[in-house]
Chain A
Amino acid sequence: MLCCDIRVTPAANATISASFHWQSGAMLGISGPSGVGKTTLLQHLAGLARPQRGRIRWRGNSWFDAQSGAWLAPHRRPVSLVFQDQRLFPHLDVAGNLRLAARFSGRGRAAEQDALITLLELRHLLHKPNGQLSGGQRSRVALARGLLAAPELILLDEPFSGLDHATRRRVMHATQDYLREHNIAAVLVSHDPDELASLCDDILPMADGETAPVQAAMDWLNQIEAPAGSAIAAVLPATCTHFSNIDGLACYDADGNEILVAADHAPHRPTARLSIAAQDVSLLLERPVATSIANCLPVSVAAWQPHDQGLLLTLSIGTLSLRCQITQRSFHRLNIENGKSLYAQFKANAVRVL
């Protein structure tokens, strides 16, 4: 539905070439190192700048076409943009910003404004002038404003910055729910792999001023090359079957496999993506009798490759995969070979819920 093939030469910066086709999905994440041009790309999609060459089409409508001269002004495109620097109107308080967004977009009646205020925990900030808001509060207001105004698509440029960990999780999931409820597609720019991992269905990788083809998020997350700054991990889509605070564990089902997760890691949501770092997985030849380690799953060896001083194994459990990092010594001691059945162990605590 989003078809983009443009070439941008920002003043005094390197050329950015973005060529991708996003077929369908709720959220597209753009990943890449800082300075690669993610924000620039968003601004061009929003219509705040005009590319030198190319085309942009959304659901069949042409927003920009260099050849035919087509150009849809930013206020006419059914898209809103949440800026990295928030850009809250300084002459209005929080409530005023939301009202203005409603008036500009022609959307967001009082009821919806109210819902967003509750969702993003802005009730106590409504009459505060901008100067008195913290960074995290400003981010939430900017997000509320953008969500209110978004008709079909919303572009999010690092929208969760400044939020502490717990708040960030709540806000991220609240946003996701709102988008789903109102059928608004989203493009998320983030340098934080966990944000991308948690929310996005598809990923558009960007490097050296160029975009690579769009990938399904699960594929991207499970690739051999880990995103910069994070350990290699396997990401498994799972649904929550049981949440219990008594023994401190939550129970998830990943393609028929039961995975126990520390309760304080688990948000109260029906579905989640579980991330298990390769270094947290250990292997056994036989099922252990008594162990403090909560998770022990039957797996079979699918592939392996050298990694660091040791080896990185890819283990399949049903249709999903786990990663495991072991030393050469262990590799030989366990007589690893293709298709061998083993048990993979990892603590409940080691599982991160994205």
Chain B
Amino acid sequence: MLSPADLQALWLTLELAGLTTLILLLGGTPLAWWLAHRRGRLAALLESVLALPLVLPPTVLGFYLLLLFSPRQGPGHWWQALTGHTLAFSFFGILIASVIYSLPFVLQPLVTGFRQQGVHYLHAAATLGATPWQRLWSVALPMNRPHFIMATSLGFAHTLGEFGVVLMVGGSIPGVTRVLSVALFEHVEAGEMIQAHVLAGLLLGGALGVMFVVNSFRRRGAHAVL
């Protein structure tokens, strides 16, 4: 049913979505913690900036990334000096793009979760002798589980379907940057409708599956956290 090229695109997409989500969870959790417990202008400004990818058209982001990745200056230049490759047209480049683009989808549920918790239970834990690390690990994180599930699912699903940004900085290189959504686009443009249907069906099925997971935990989460 799937051509070898499309199968390759599928694995690549799963790899990209998985890595992006993992990076965002590891980096996003402490960031969400900080944002949830901080007041003041700096935190508010940062939160707004980090939410930008929600409303930014992907082409705008892709455009700026293309400039950022350019080996003529800045990060693109350092990367080329370090590795001999450009950031554009590389897996690492689209990984960066995915992390930026899916950031709010992972960060926002986490921030909401931590914020809803407030400090009450953390105070209780402190008076029982819990160190700050224990408070995070044994109270804040487990209490936030429904939101973690949501953040993981949304981040993963969003990256699965990512198209515009990858198209602009990826270069559709098989096995490196030709993700499922780009493969689908190419099939449609080339008039290969059967393959297009297969890939679209896959993406739709994947998204549906993820949202099902999200909603079932959201329902459960409403009871779990009193």
Q: Do chains A and B touch in the complex (CB under 8 A)?
A: yes
Residues of A within 8 A of B (CB): 46-48, 73-75, 79-81, 83, 85, 87, 89-91, 100-101, 103-106, 130-131, 145-146, 149, 155
Selected from B129, B131, B224, the residue in CB contact (under 8 A) with A149 is B129
Complex CA–CA separation, A149 to B129 (angstroms): 7
Rounded to whole angstroms, the CA-CA distance of A52 and B128 in the bound complex is 24
Pairwise interchain contact B126-A89, C-beta atoms closer than 8 A = no
Residue of B whose beta carbon sits closest to that of A73: B126
Contact with A along B122-152 (1 / 0, CB 8 A): 0111111111101000110011010000000
Q: Please name all residues of chain B whose beta carbon is closer than 8 Å to the beta carbon of A101 when the two chains form the complex.
A: 128
Are B126 and A75 neighbours in the complex by a CB distance under 8 Å?
Answer: yes
Q: Is the CB of A90 within 8 A of B130?
A: no
30 A-B residue pairs with Cβ-Cβ distance under 8 Å, sorted by A, are A74-B123, A74-B127, A75-B126, A75-B129, A75-B130, A75-B131, A80-B127, A81-B124, A81-B127, A85-B120, A87-B120, A87-B123, A89-B124, A89-B143, A90-B121, A90-B225, A90-B226, A91-B142, A100-B125, A100-B128, A103-B138, A104-B125, A104-B129, A104-B138, A105-B128, A131-B223, A146-B127, A149-B127, A149-B128, A149-B129
- Whether B223 lies near A89 (C-beta < 8 A) is no
B118: min CB distance to chain A, Å: 11
- Shortest C-beta distance, A343 to chain B (Å), equals 53
Residue of A nearest to B131 (CB): A75
Are A46 and B224 touching (Cβ within 8 A)?
no
Determine the residue in chain B with the shortest Cβ distance to A151.
Answer: B129
Given known pairs A130-B226, A131-B226, the reply for A89 and B127 (CB within 8 Å) is: no
Please name all residues of chain B whose beta carbon is closer than 8 Å to the beta carbon of A46 when the two chains form the complex. 127
Query: Are B224 and A100 closer than 8 Å at their CB atoms?
Result: no
Residues of B within 8 A of A130 (CB): 226
Known pairs A89-B121, A91-B142; A104 contacts B223 (CB<8 A): no
Q: Which residues of B contact A75 (CB under 8 A)?
A: 126-127, 129-132
List the A residue with the shortest CB-CB distance to B124. Answer: A87
Q: Which residue of chain B is the closest to A148 with respect to CB atoms?
A: B128
Secondary structure type dominating chain B contacts: helix
Residue of A nearest to B142 (CB): A91
Which of A48, A79, A146 has the most chain B CB atoms closer than 10 A to its own CB?
A48
With a cutoff of 8 Å between Cβ atoms, the chain B residues found around residue A89 in the complex are: 121, 124-125, 139, 143
Q: A87–B224 Cα gap in the complex (Å)?
A: 15
Identify which of residues 131-175 in chain B touch chain A, using a CB-to-CB cut-off of 8 Å. Answer: 131-132, 134, 138-139, 142-143, 145
A104 and B130: CB pair below 8 A?
A: yes
Most chain A beta carbons < 10 A, residue from B126, B127, B139, B143: B127
User: What's the least CB distance linking A155 to chain B, in Å?
Assistant: 8
Q: Which residue of A lies closest to B123 (CB)?
A: A48
Q: Is the CB of B225 within 8 A of A91?
A: yes
Evaluate contact between A106 and B121: CB separation under 8 angstroms: no
Q: Which residues of chain B come closer than 8 Å to A47, judged between CB atoms?
A: 126
What residue of chain B has the Cβ atom nearest to residue A78's Cβ? B129
- By the criterion CB–CB under 8 Å, are B143 and A80 in contact? no
Q: Which residues of B contact A83 (CB under 8 A)?
A: 124
Per the bound structure, the CA–CA distance linking A44 and B145 in Å amounts to 31
Q: Given the interface contacts A87-B121, A90-B224, does A48 sit within 8 Å of B126 by beta carbon?
A: yes
Measured between C-beta atoms, what is the minimum distance from B179 to chain A in Å? Answer: 37
B128 touches A145 (CB 8 A): yes
Nearest-neighbour CB distance to chain A for B28, whole angstroms, equals: 20
Enumerate chain A residues within 8 angstroms of B145, measured Cβ to Cβ: 91
Least CB distance, A352 to chain B, in whole angstroms: 34
Q: Given A48-B123, A131-B223, do A90 and B128 touch, yes or no (CB 8 Å)? A: no
Q: Once the chains are docked, how many angstroms separate the CA of A104 from the CA of B139?
A: 11
In the bound complex, how far is the Cα of B128 from the Cα of A104, in angstroms?
6
Q: Which one of A80, A90, A91, A155 contacts B129 once the chains associate, using CB atoms below 8 Å?
A: A80
Considering the complex, give the chain A residue whose CB is closest to the CB of B119.
A48
**B92-135 interface (Cβ within 8 A of A):** 120-121, 123-132, 134
